[in-house]
């Protein structure tokens, strides 16, 4: 790892000419000069910022600050005491990720303010080549703590844009994305992605959300938004010490939609890894007792067609060992599922009688297969935290070092999932699992803001509409998968759980009759893609813990499953090749000596010509292409596919035909 380099930027280097600015600069440019930011105080001493991109105004003057309880002024009456400019360059390596090598290069404007009420505020602005970030650092005199009532941060845009967002829901991110004109957008969660045509693609989000409520954005005038924080039960937003800093408020600003994919900016705004040893943290492929329960042919509870039995577990372990799969996930293994909908008090130390966890753990160890444990909380956080330490100790005593958590249910006493209370709990679980050398996959989580840099055991999470919605609702439309890489997954990995081969659920006819899960099955449920697209999604929808989610019986003897056998989720580098939000996307990824490519499209069929210049030069590869069949169509003939093999080099191109709602997956293996 290269050592960080700090130095004060020369005033002339940044291209500013005002003598006043030389003493206390208020302007900043990105290292490549494309993004410019200016800070100002208005007539009442309230701080503002504005941003331009390639010489065109993008964000008009926008207010900064917070409202606290009536005893403290965090918002205005400020004087500028000092400011200075810095630049920073560092290179660092992650133990896993879309890219393992990262460059952290930014210019910083540090502005120190003070008001007559004794509030000291430092505003830290950073401009990267791919975007802007800022945070607040407060020091409030004559108090030990402060109650935050509201955030005043604004994002005021001048130009029209197309937006892709989900609603500003403080409980769940599992919504379909809406494509709306910027003028019609009223409120949204982040990441919120905008296309300002002929200007830039932007994505508003936050980084290093550690001990603070999540931020959403709310319109107060057309094209103008302010931050809105998830509240506590009493309506306040956060309780903070007298010296505190906020998460980073971030805005990617790039030329192409594909530049949003695999950016390092969110990670670079988080603290470096605090774990001395990360050798135990490995990407993995897994299967599990999961899809059958969402289909309704199995259940979490022991009383009705129980899925997590010793017999099923042994069969899954054998399947994983035979198919080059690293791990098996077991849900519904522990006592307490019978309490669902009441007190929801799970026992994380006691398996159901038909699940011999000691025998299963020993058998998995003999077969070289990892077990992914499962802790569903049902939203009962006090109960889960009361057992957390003993439950983690018990898992490790069984040789289980991987865990999936779940929060499908309302929190007690009116707390919101995404409030400061929720953020603190999710962080606690990350830290405690790290102390036990356990990796974590969180469902119904707080959104990803880059914690995986600091705690790389936090490997993946849900936080969007995933595969299970296809089992008991109208499902996710074909365009959903072409939106996620530019929105939710641009913020971090997602456990979408792709890989359903029985698209129309024809093969469930020989299994127990499907029951409507939780009363949600609408009777027309199916997966709204082609089979080839399901294969391609293993590449496109990034997760270091990647699941083959279908029933193992649907993979047995299936030629297309060879892709997952060959697939390696331990990537070294990602190549976002082509794409437009909601339309199509093509991504290639390098894993050791092999490469994998995924191309997917929305409801429109598409012909693409892809340059293979991302491959290692002077090397011949066997390309194994899993493509839509000539008559494939997501709605009428989704399971038509073909497998083609050809030798290629980095000098070649490939012509891909994607059916409606279809895709192509390719594995590249060197042969010389």
Check whether 136 has a pLDDT greater than 80.
yes
> Per-residue pLDDT tens for 387-400?
999 999 999 999 99
Q: pLDDT confidence of 515, banded at 50, 70, 90?
A: low
Residues paired with residue 131 on neighbouring β-strands, in sequence order? 128, 252
pLDDT at site 19: 33
Supply the pLDDT for residue 303: 78
Contact criterion met (CB below 8 Å) for 566 and 325? no
Per-residue pLDDT, 23: 86
- Which of 45-49, 513-517, 579-583 has the least mean pLDDT? 513-517
For residue 97, give the DSSP letter: S
Which residues contact residue 328 at a Cβ distance below 8 angstroms, ignoring those fewer than 6 apart? 286, 287, 288, 313, 316, 317, 320, 364, 369, 370, 371, 372
Buried b vs exposed e over 325-341: b needs ≥16 C-beta within 10 Å?
Answer: bbbbbbbbbbbbbeebe
Q: Does residue 354 contact residue 310 with C-beta atoms inside 8 Å?
A: yes
pLDDT, position 13: 37
- For residues 448 and 266, what is the distance between their CA atoms, to the nearest angstrom? 9
Q: pLDDT tens across 558-604, in order?
A: 999 999 999 999 999 999 999 999 999 999 999 999 999 999 999 99
The structure tokens listed for 513 are 């009759």
Beta strands 192-196 and 162-165, pairing class: antiparallel
Q: Which two tokens stand for residue 186?
A: 């009223």
Nearest CA-CA partner of 626 in 605, 615, 641: 641
Compute the average pLDDT of residues 115-133: 97
Residue 101 DSSP code: E
Asked if residue 546 has pLDDT above 50, the reply is yes
Q: Residue 304's pLDDT is what?
A: 74
Distance CA 327, CA 310 (A): 16
Give the three-class secondary structure for 105.
Answer: strand
pLDDT of residue 338: 87
Residue pLDDT, tens place only, 195-250: 999 999 999 999 999 999 999 999 999 999 999 999 999 999 999 999 999 999 99
Number of other residues whose CB lies within 10 A of the CB of residue 143: 13
- Determine the average pLDDT of the residues in 447-471: 97
pLDDT at 15: 36
Contact partners, residue 509, CB within 8 Å, separation at least 6: none
Structure tokens at 606: 């598409």
In which residue are the tokens 């990441």 written? 191
Tokens of 60: 């008009």
Query: What pLDDT was estimated at residue 436?
Result: 98
For residue 519, what pLDDT band results from cuts at 50, 70 and 90?
A: low
Q: With 70 as the cut, is the pLDDT of residue 549 above it?
A: yes
- List C-alpha distances in Å: 592 to 483, 569, 570, 571, 668: 28, 10, 8, 7, 11
Cα 209 to its chain centre, rounded Å, is: 13
Contact 286/325 with Cβ under 8 angstroms? yes
Mean pLDDT, residues 476-484 taken together:
98
pLDDT of residue 495: 98
Q: How many CB atoms lie within 10 A of CB 295?
A: 24
- pLDDT at 532 exceeding the cut of 60: yes
Q: Mean pLDDT lowest for which of 70-74, 327-331, 632-636?
A: 70-74
**Which residues make Cβ contacts (< 8 Å) with residue 475, sequence separation at least 6?**
469, 525, 526, 527, 528
Q: Would you state the structure tokens that stand for residue 207, as one six-digit string? A: 């980084």
Residue 244, beta-bridge partner list: 138
Neighbours of 643 (CB within 10 A): 14
Cα dihedral 39, 139, 238, 379, rounded to 10, equals 100
Lookup: tokens for 266: 């969110």
Which residue's entry shows tokens 């500013």? 16
pTM for this model (two decimals): 0.95
Q: How far apart are CA 238 and CA 231, in angstroms?
A: 8
- Band (pLDDT 50/70/90 cuts) for residue 14 is very low
- List the domains of the chain with CATH numbers: 5-255 (2.70.98.10), 284-564 (3.20.20.70)
Residue 458 burial by Cβ neighbours in a 10 Å radius (0-12, 13-18, 19+)? buried
Q: Is the pLDDT of residue 508 over 80?
A: no
Q: What is the C-alpha separation between 335 and 351, in angstroms, rounded?
A: 6
Tokens 């995986």 correspond to what residue?
452
Partners of 89 in the β-ladder: 5, 105
pLDDT tens across 329-356, in order? 999 999 999 888 777 899 999 999 999 9
pLDDT of residue 71: 83
Rounded percentage of the chain residues whose pLDDT exceeds 70: 95
426-to-210, 384, 440, 442, 637 alpha-carbon distances in Å? 9, 12, 11, 9, 42
Q: In whole angstroms, give the CA distance from residue 607 to residue 499.
A: 23
Q: Report which secondary-structure segment, H or E, holds 57.
A: strand 56-63
- Residue 94 clears pLDDT 70, i.e. is over it: yes
What was the pLDDT predicted at 193? 98
Please state, in angstroms and rounded to a whole number, the distance separating the CA atoms of residues 358 and 288.
Answer: 18
User: For the chain, how are helix, strand and coil distributed in percent, rounded to 5?
Assistant: 20, 35, 45
Mean pLDDT across the chain, nearest whole number?
Answer: 94
CA distance 178 to 349: 42
Q: Annotated catalytic sites, by residue?
A: 468
Q: What H or E segment, with its residue span, contains residue 440?
A: strand 439-442
pLDDT score, position 2: 41
pLDDT at res. 644: 98
């Amino acid at each position: 790892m290269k050592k960080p380099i700090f130095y004060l930027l020369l005033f002339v280097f940044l291209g500013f000419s005002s003598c006043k600015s030389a003493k206390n600069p208020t302007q900043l440019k990105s290292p490549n000069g494309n993004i410019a930011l200016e800070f100002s105080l208005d007539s009442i001493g309230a701080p503002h910022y504005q941003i331009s991109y390639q010489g065109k105004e993008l964000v008009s003057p926008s207010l900064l600050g917070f409202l606290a309880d009536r005893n403290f002024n965090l918002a205005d009456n400020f004087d500028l005491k000092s400011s200075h400019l810095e630049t920073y360059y560092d290179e660092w390596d992650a133990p896993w990720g879309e890219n393992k090598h990262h460059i952290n290069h930014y210019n910083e404007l540090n502005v120190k303010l003070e008001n007559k009420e004794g509030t000291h505020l430092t505003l830290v602005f950073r401009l990267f080549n791919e975007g802007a970030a800022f945070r607040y650092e407060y020091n409030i005199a004559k108090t030990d703590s402060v109650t935050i009532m509201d955030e005043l941060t604004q994002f005021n845009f001048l130009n029209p844009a197309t937006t892709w967002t989900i609603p500003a829901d403080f409980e769940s991110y599992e919504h379909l994305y809406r494509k709306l004109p910027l003028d019609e957008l009223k409120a949204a969660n982040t990441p919120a992605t905008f296309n300002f045509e002929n200007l830039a693609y932007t994505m508003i989000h936050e980084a290093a959300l550690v001990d603070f409520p999540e931020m959403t954005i709310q319109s107060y005038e057309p094209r103008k938004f302010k931050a809105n924080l998830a509240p506590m039960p009493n309506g306040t937003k956060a309780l903070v010490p007298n010296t505190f800093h906020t998460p980073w408020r971030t805005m990617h600003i790039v030329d192409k939609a594909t530049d949003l994919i695999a950016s390092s900016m969110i990670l670079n705004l988080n603290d470096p890894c605090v774990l001395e040893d990360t050798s135990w943290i490995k990407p993995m492929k897994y299967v599990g007792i999961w899809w059958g329960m969402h289909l309704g042919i199995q259940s979490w509870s022991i009383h009705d067609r129980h899925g997590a039995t010793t017999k099923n577990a042994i069969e899954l372990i054998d399947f994983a060992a035979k198919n080059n799969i690293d791990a098996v996930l077991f849900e519904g293994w522990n006592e307490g599922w019978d309490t669902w909908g009441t007190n929801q008090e799970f026992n994380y130390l006691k398996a159901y009688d038909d699940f011999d966890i000691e025998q299963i753990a020993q058998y998995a160890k003999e077969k070289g297969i990892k077990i992914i444990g499962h802790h569903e909380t049902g939203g009962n956080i006090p109960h889960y935290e009361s057992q957390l330490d003993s439950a983690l100790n018990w898992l490790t005593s069984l040789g289980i070092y991987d865990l999936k958590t779940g929060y499908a249910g309302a929190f007690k006493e009116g707390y919101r999932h995404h409030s400061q209370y929720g953020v603190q709990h999710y962080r606690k679980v990350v830290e405690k699992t790290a102390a036990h050398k356990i990796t974590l996959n969180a469902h119904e989580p707080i959104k990803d803001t880059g914690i995986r840099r600091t705690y790389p055991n936090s490997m993946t999470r849900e936080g969007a509409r995933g595969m299970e919605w296809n089992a008991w609702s109208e499902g996710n439309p074909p365009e959903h998968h072409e939106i996620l890489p530019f929105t939710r997954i641009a913020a971090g990995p997602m456990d979408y759980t792709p890989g359903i081969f029985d698209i129309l659920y024809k093969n469930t006819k020989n299994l127990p009759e499907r029951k409507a899960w939780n009363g949600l099955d609408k009777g027309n449920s199916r997966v709204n893609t082609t089979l080839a697209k399901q294969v391609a999604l293993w590449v496109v929808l990034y997760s270091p813990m990647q699941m083959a989610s279908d029933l193992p019986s649907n993979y047995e003897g299936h030629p297309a499953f060879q892709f997952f056998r060959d697939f390696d989720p331990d990537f070294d580098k990602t190549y976002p090749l082509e794409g437009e939000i909601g339309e199509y996307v093509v991504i290639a990824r390098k894993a050791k000596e092999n490469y994998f490519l995924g191309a997917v499209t929305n409801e429109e069929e598409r012909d693409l010509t892809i340059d293979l210049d991302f491959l290692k030069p002077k090397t011949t590869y066997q390309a194994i292409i899993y493509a839509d069949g000539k008559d494939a169509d997501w709605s009428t003939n989704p399971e038509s596919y073909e497998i083609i093999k050809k030798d290629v080099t980095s000098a070649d191109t490939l012509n891909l035909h994607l059916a409606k709602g279809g895709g192509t997956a390719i594995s590249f293996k060197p042969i010389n």
